[in-house]
Structure 1
Amino acid sequence: MCTQLFDPKVDYIFKNIFGSEKHPNILISFLNACIKSKSPITEVKIKNTEITKEYIEESFSRLDVLATTQNGEVINIEMQRADEKNMIKRSLYYWSKIFAGEYKVKGKYSSLPRTICINVLDFKLLEEEKFHNVYILKNKENNNMLTDVMEMHFVEIPKMKEIDQDDMLSLWTAFLNDPNNEKIVELEAKYDALHEAKIELARLSRDPKEAELYRMRENAINERRNFFLETFENGREDRDTEIVLNMLGEGLDEGMISKLTKIDIIKIKEIREKYKS
């Protein structure tokens, strides 16, 4: 009987695979595939290895991967499944916290390390066609780089349509999307790190204790998602009400308001009835 594999996009599983001290080659392979540096990463030290039960149950906790490389770079990886409408500013905030935190360790601005944030997203965020996009600090007019200490990656899983077997990041993205993908299964033997990740995922998926933690984390994530959906819906209701009342106040009829705003005319009538003086 085949084991039903856990979804590697669940942050708890992602962290156990890519942020495990027992499997550094997995993280090294992923980072080299993503960053594509002229000086490949050969060693990593994972800084946040502990995952407590409180983290698992807390819907607002972050189970990301934070590591340093032999080149002195600091790299943060976050796996995000739901679009909470704040990803870009959120990533900038995380980068700034990590970068500022390094000052406390180094004590000198000149010693601050290159800091890279990699956001792996299970939704479409950017108005870019490619599934992997990199942002750095450059001169707006002549494109000259200001510094390489800041680098931000966005890997949007849904945008990758076809697997490119010559691009390791394409393979890792396909693995995250569906570890049972026929092409991934076919190529596992060719890439040791990919094979190692699949074995570790299978091990986690067979372990009853891990299954319980996985279920708890899924529940916490669903609670978080529902919270943001409700908040978004309530915010949209407030905005719709404000728009309708303002337009009614300007003397527009219900049909015209519906045409201009795309708000259902029944909802407009309900708002008018509710707030009529």
Structure 2
Amino acid sequence: MRRTLLNPKIDFVFKKIFGSEEHPEILISFLNAVLKPQKPIVSVEIKNSDLEKEYIEDKFSRLDVKALTSNKEIINIEIQLKNEYNMIQRSLYYWSKLYEEQLSEGDRYDKLSRTVCINILDFKYLKNDRFHNGYRLKEIETNEELTDLQEIHFIEIPK
């Protein structure tokens, strides 16, 4: 019987590779390579990838991979094969939902953890030649970083 490799860009296969509780070392290695943290990630906990609705009219979303790192960061990894011309908006929406869901009534804001979205795109999207771009909130004129609590990455496979 001949074996063929499955395409890792297919949603189901992607989730089996990066969202596997049986083989967390794959996700850990990927996150350390992409984020280059000062303190390396040594463990991850794969979380439920559904973004729960608060009201019936709310938009339901399911992330590809959602994880909590040993550095107490919340990570979302998405793979997108087709350009729907909304990746920045979509990424900000997912990021905001992950950030918002951390607090309950009466919680203090300092409980909020660093939240990172990593978007792997099978198309060219950003107007530069770099295949990996990472963004944070910065002051417009001085480029002074306000915080690292928000970080959004785009990895464009064709580049």
Asked if Structure 1 and Structure 2 have the same fold, meaning a TM-score greater than 0.5 normalized by the shorter chain, the answer is: yes
1:232-243 alignment runs, 5 A limit: none
Relative contact order, higher structure (CA 8 A, sep 6+): 1
Query: For the residues of structure 1 that align with 2:100 and 2:118, how far apart are their CA atoms?
Result: 17
Query: For the residues of structure 1 that align with 2:125 and 2:2, how far apart are their CA atoms?
Result: 35
Identity of aligned residues (%): 57
The structure richer in helix per residue is 1
The answer on 1:124 being equivalent to 2:124 is yes
Structure 2: gaps of 5 or more residues = 51-59
Corresponding residue of 1:40: 40
Corresponding residue of 1:146: 146
Shift of 1:2: 3.9
The answer on 1:81 being equivalent to 2:108 is no
Contact 2:49 2:64 in 1 (8 A): no
- The code of the aligned residue for 2:95 comes to W
- The code of the aligned residue for 2:11 comes to D
Query: TM-score normalized by structure 1?
Result: 0.52
1:15–1:142 Cα change, 3 Å: same
The structure richer in strand per residue is 2
Contact 1:21 1:49 in 2 (8 A): no
**How many residues matched?**
150
The answer on 1:22 being equivalent to 2:28 is no
Query: TM-score normalized by structure 2?
Result: 0.89
1:151–1:106 Cα change, 3 Å: farther
Which structure 1 residue ranges, 4+ long, deviate > 6 Å from structure 2? Answer: none
Any idea what the Cα deviations from partners look like across 1:220-247, whole Å, max 9, x if unmatched? xxxxxxxxxxxxxxxxxxxxxxxxxxxx
SS at match of 2:42: coil
1:63–1:115 Cα change, 3 Å: closer
Larger Rg: 1
Shift of 1:122: 0.4
Shift of 1:48: 2.1
RMSD of equivalent CA atoms: 1.9
Corresponding residue of 2:110: 110
Structure 1: gaps of 5 or more residues = 51-59, 160-277
